[in-house]
Each structure stands twice: as structure tokens, then as C-alpha cells.
């Protein structure tokens, strides 16, 4: 093959010829598989042989003498049973023409709720009245009573003697008191002296009269000095007595004030004790009322619990009655269903007996292997032809590609030579 000449492609195979060859191979395989899969069988009960006329198989089954006798016996029995069943067709016709008899069926049950206890109602009238806290029997709230207390003690100075007078005023009072008592005596003594002197002829202005009056004045002055001294002593003694008396009055007033204060304190203590006893009595009344209130609450709660217990027992009794009625209804329904089932059974009994006679004894033949076809895979003739064709085509393509490459190389060399010249 020269450069530039392509190899011719191989001629494709004839697919019809390939398919015909494939079909012939399949038929031959099927014949061999059929003969291999269906051999002749021989058993104590009989035999089975397979013969072929062309491609058509024929199966021949032959019973043994014992099996043949049993087969014929079953045929006779079935024929006799069929005759008996045929004679019962009149009974079946009569039965089918008669309606189903419901007279022997129990009546349809009715759910009777008259036997169920009445629905219990919660009765609040049986509860004790709701307890109210009664404070009407409680002693009144007491206040601290100050009306029975003695008046608040006041220090009484009204009975205390005046404060003792000391100094000039006290002295003047004592002195003036003496002078006032003695003045009439001095006046009478002066008058007697004047009259005496006058009777003696001694008149005023004379030396004797002056001397006599001087003596009288001296006596009066002595009395005055004595009065002054007495006034001083009296003033001091009176001041001491006044001070002692005033102190005694003050002590008595102080003692009276202390007695009044102690008496008021005693009254206050008594009032305090009375207030405490009244408060304790009211507290006791409160506790008694609280206990009474608690007992009432407890009693009402007990009544409520009893009502709830009774309500629960009534509810349980009603539930029990409901269950009994439900069970009775179920038993009555089941009894009615049993009656219907029994009636249907008696009605269908002739037909069932007929079917039993008709189906009672089936002929049993020995069981042989059934005819089996065998699938055998045919040889891959067509796949081989296609593979052969594809291989030839690949060789042709490789050869053509090599020639084209050499041709292109020569053209390149020629072009290069022309460029050199």
C-alpha cells in the first residue's frame, strides 16, 4: 500500500444471516434442555413417560394396579354421595322458599336506665350554717379609767405660815408693840410728875422742873433701851419660832403631798390592774369566741366531707348500676345474636350437608413431576460478529492515520527545499 492510498474499510457482516444462525442455535438448545429437564419417572404408585413427535411432547401417566383399584373405588363413592346429595335438593328448595323464622329469636334488648340510681346532687342544705365570728358576747373594750384616780397632788402652801420676818421690820414690830403697850404708862407717869411738881410749886422752865423731867426722860429712855433690847430678843425668838413653825408647816405640806402622790400612784396601780384584768377578760372572751368559730368551721367542714363521701358513694353506686345494666344489655344482645346464629345454622344445615356430600371425598391421584421447560443461554454469535467487525474497522483507521502522517511529512520537506532555492 503506497503513501496517500487509504486502506479500504472491511465489509460488514450480514445481520440477517447472523440472526438466523442465532435462532437455529436457540432452537437446538431448547430441544436439548426440554429432554434433560423432563425425564421418565417410575414410582410404586405408577409411572410417567415423556415422548416427542417432532417438537411436541406427550406425557403418559400409568397407575399401578393397586392405585388403579383405589381410584375406581373413589369414583364409585363420589357417585353414590352425589346421588344422595341430589335427593336433598328438594329440602333445600323448600328451605330457600321459607323466610327466616325470627319467632324463636329473643326480642331486641332495650337499655333500661330505670334501674340506675338517680344522679346524686350536692345538697348544701345539709351543711351547718357558715360560722360567723360573734363578738357580741365579748366584753367591751376597756379604756384606762383615770376618773377614779385622785387628783394630781399639788404642793399646798396655803397652810404654811408666812416666811419669818427678820431684820428691821421684825425689830420694829417688837419694839413698837412694847412702846405701844408702855406709852399710856409713860404718859400717865409724865402727867403725875408734872402735877406733883406743880403741886410742889415747881413749874416748867425751872431747874428743878427740868431736872425732874430729865430724870423722867432718862427713865423713859431706859425703858426705850430695854424695849429695844427686848425687841431684839423677841425678834430673834419670834424669827426662830416662825422659822420652826414654817418648817413644820412645810414638812406637813410635804408629807401631805407625798401621801397624795402615793395615793394617786396606788389609784393608778389599781386602775392599771383593773385595766389588765378587763383586757385579759376580753382576751378570754375572744379566745372562747375563736374556739367556737373554729368548732363551727370544723363542723361545717365535717358536714362537707360527709356530703362528699355520700356523693362519692352515690356516684359509685350509680356507676355500678350502670355497669350491671351494660353487662345485662350485652348479655341480652349476645343471646339474641346466638339465637340468630343458631337459626341461621339450622336453616343452612341441609345446604351444608349437601355441600359436604358433594365435596366430602375428592379423588386423590399420585402426584408426578410436572413438565418443566429449561432455559439455556444460546452462544453469542451476533456479539462475536460485531466484535470482529469493530476490530477490523479499528485496524483500518490506524493504517489510514499512519499514511496521512507520512504524506504530511513529505509535503513539509518539499516546501522547505523550495524555500532554500
Which residue is listed with cell 433701851?
Answer: 225
Instruction: Tell the burial category of 361 from Cβ atoms under 10 Å away from its Cβ (0-12, 13-18, 19+).
Output: middle
d(CA 273, CA 285): 18
d(CA 199, CA 209): 12
Query: Is the per-residue pLDDT at 375 higher than 60?
Result: no
C-beta of residue 182 within 8 angstroms of C-beta of residue 227: yes
d(CA 309, CA 123): 12
Span between the terminal Cα atoms of the chain, in Å = 32
Residue-wise pLDDT tens digits, 85-132:
777 677 777 777 777 777 777 877 776 777 777 766 666 776 777 667
Residue-wise pLDDT tens digits, 217-256:
898 888 888 878 887 887 777 777 777 877 787 787 788 7
pLDDT of residue 421: 46
C-beta of residue 311 within 8 angstroms of C-beta of residue 120: yes
Query: Going by C-beta distance under 8 Å and a sequence separation of 6 or more, which residues neighbour residue 372?
Result: 37, 38
Query: Is the per-residue pLDDT at 419 higher than 60?
Result: no
Helices 381-420, 15-37: crossing angle, 10 deg rounding: 150
DSSP SS3 for 46: strand
Query: Is the per-residue pLDDT at 3 higher than 60?
Result: no
Query: Is the per-residue pLDDT at 65 higher than 80?
Result: yes
- Which of left, alpha, beta for 205 (phi over 0: left; psi -120 to 50: alpha)? left
DSSP SS3 for 187: helix
347 pLDDT band (50/70/90 cuts)? low
Three cell numbers written together for 252: 406637813
CA-CA-CA-CA dihedral for 310, 312, 317, 319, to nearest 10: 160
Higher pLDDT, 346 or 252: 252
**Could you tell me what percent of the chain has a pLDDT over 90?**
0
Query: Is the per-residue pLDDT at 143 higher than 60?
Result: yes
Query: Is the per-residue pLDDT at 152 higher than 50?
Result: yes
Taking the CA of residue 200 as centre, how many other CA atoms within 13 Å lie in the half-sphere pointing to its CB? 11
Which residue is listed with cell 389588765?
Answer: 276
Residue-wise pLDDT tens digits, 301-324:
887 877 778 777 777 877 887 787
167 pLDDT band (50/70/90 cuts)? low
**For the chain, what are the domain ranges?**
124-164+233-346
Give mean pLDDT, residues 46-56.
Answer: 82
Which residue is listed with cell 416748867?
Answer: 204
Residue 98 DSSP one-character state: S
pLDDT of residue 185: 84
Amino acid at each position: 500500500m503506497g503513501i496517500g492510498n487509504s486502506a479500504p474499510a472491511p465489509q460488514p457482516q450480514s445481520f440477517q444471516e447472523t440472526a438466523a444462525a442465532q435462532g437455529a442455535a436457540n432452537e437446538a438448545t431448547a430441544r436439548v434442555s426440554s429432554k434433560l429437564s423432563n425425564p421418565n419417572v417410575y414410582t410404586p404408585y405408577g409411572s410417567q413417560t415423556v415422548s416427542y413427535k417432532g417438537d411436541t411432547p406427550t406425557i403418559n401417566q400409568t397407575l399401578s394396579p393397586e392405585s388403579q383399584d383405589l381410584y375406581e373405588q373413589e369414583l364409585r363413592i363420589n357417585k353414590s354421595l352425589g346421588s344422595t346429595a341430589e335427593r336433598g335438593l328438594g329440602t333445600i328448595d323448600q328451605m330457600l322458599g321459607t323466610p327466616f323464622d325470627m319467632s324463636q329469636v329473643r326480642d331486641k334488648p332495650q337499655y333500661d336506665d330505670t334501674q340506675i340510681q338517680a344522679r346524686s346532687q350536692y345538697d348544701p342544705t345539709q351543711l351547718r350554717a357558715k360560722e360567723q365570728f360573734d363578738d357580741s358576747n365579748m366584753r367591751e373594750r376597756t379604756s384606762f379609767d383615770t376618773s377614779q384616780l385622785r387628783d394630781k397632788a399639788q404642793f399646798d402652801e396655803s397652810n404654811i405660815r408666812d416666811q419669818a420676818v427678820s431684820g428691821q421690820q421684825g425689830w420694829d414690830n417688837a419694839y413698837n408693840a412694847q412702846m405701844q403697850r408702855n406709852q399710856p404708862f409713860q404718859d400717865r407717869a409724865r402727867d403725875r410728875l408734872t402735877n406733883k411738881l406743880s403741886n410742889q410749886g415747881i413749874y416748867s422752865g425751872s431747874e428743878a422742873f427740868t431736872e425732874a423731867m430729865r430724870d423722867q426722860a432718862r427713865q423713859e429712855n431706859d425703858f426705850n433701851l430695854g424695849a429695844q433690847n427686848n425687841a431684839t430678843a423677841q425678834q430673834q425668838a419670834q424669827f426662830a419660832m416662825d422659822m420652826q413653825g414654817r418648817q413644820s408647816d412645810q414638812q406637813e405640806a410635804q408629807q401631805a403631798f407625798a401621801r397624795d402622790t402615793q395615793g394617786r400612784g396606788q389609784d393608778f396601780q389599781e386602775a392599771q390592774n383593773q385595766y389588765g384584768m378587763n383586757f385579759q377578760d376580753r382576751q378570754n372572751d375572744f379566745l372562747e369566741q375563736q374556739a367556737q368559730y373554729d368548732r363551727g368551721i370544723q363542723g361545717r367542714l365535717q358536714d362537707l366531707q360527709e356530703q362528699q363521701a355520700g356523693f362519692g358513694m352515690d356516684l359509685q353506686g350509680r356507676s355500678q348500676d350502670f355497669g350491671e345494666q351494660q353487662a345485662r344489655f350485652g348479655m341480652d344482645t349476645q343471646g339474641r345474636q346466638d339465637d340468630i346464629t343458631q337459626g341461621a345454622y339450622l336453616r343452612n344445615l341441609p345446604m351444608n350437608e349437601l355441600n359436604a356430600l358433594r365435596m366430602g371425598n375428592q379423588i386423590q391421584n399420585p402426584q408426578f413431576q410436572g413438565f418443566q421447560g429449561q432455559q439455556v443461554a444460546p452462544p453469542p454469535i451476533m456479539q462475536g460478529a460485531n466484535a470482529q467487525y469493530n476490530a477490523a474497522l479499528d485496524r483500518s483507521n490506524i493504517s489510514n492515520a499512519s499514511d496521512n502522517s507520512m504524506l504530511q511529512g513529505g509535503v513539509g520537506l518539499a516546501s522547505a527545499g523550495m524555500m532554500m532555492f
